């Protein structure tokens, strides 16, 4: 009985570490977003739209990042004086 309890406790701890630290880092690296931002996006997506928000929030954030980078790149090419220091 005590071994089973320790196994359950260890499983919960490992699951929390994997879910809250390791997964956001891996997903953030593959999408190109910071892990803290991934956690924030998941929290906001889950709070606003529930399970669907959790599933859609990270890909949507990645798409928005690409769109914003493309717009900034276009402005840098067409209006370089705006981006001079």
The residue ranges of the chain whose pLDDT is under 70 are 85
Please count the structural domains in the chain.
Answer: 1
- Domain with 79, as residue range(s), is 2-83
How is residue 3 written in tokens? 């071994």
DSSP state of 84: -
pLDDT of residue 27: 76
pLDDT of residue 71: 94
List the end-to-end C-alpha distance of the chain, in Å, as a whole number.
67
Residue 21 CA to residue 1 CA, distance in Å, equals 30
pLDDT of residue 10: 93
């Amino acid at each position: 009985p005590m071994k089973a309890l320790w196994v359950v406790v260890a499983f919960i701890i490992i699951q929390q570490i994997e879910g809250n630290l390791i997964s956001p880092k891996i997903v953030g690296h593959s999408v190109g977003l910071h892990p803290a931002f991934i956690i924030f996006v998941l929290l906001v997506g889950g709070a606003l739209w529930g399970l669907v928000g959790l599933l859609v929030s990270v890909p949507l954030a990645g798409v928005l990042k690409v769109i914003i980078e493309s717009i900034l790149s276009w402005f840098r090419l067409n209006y370089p004086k705006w981006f001079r220091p």
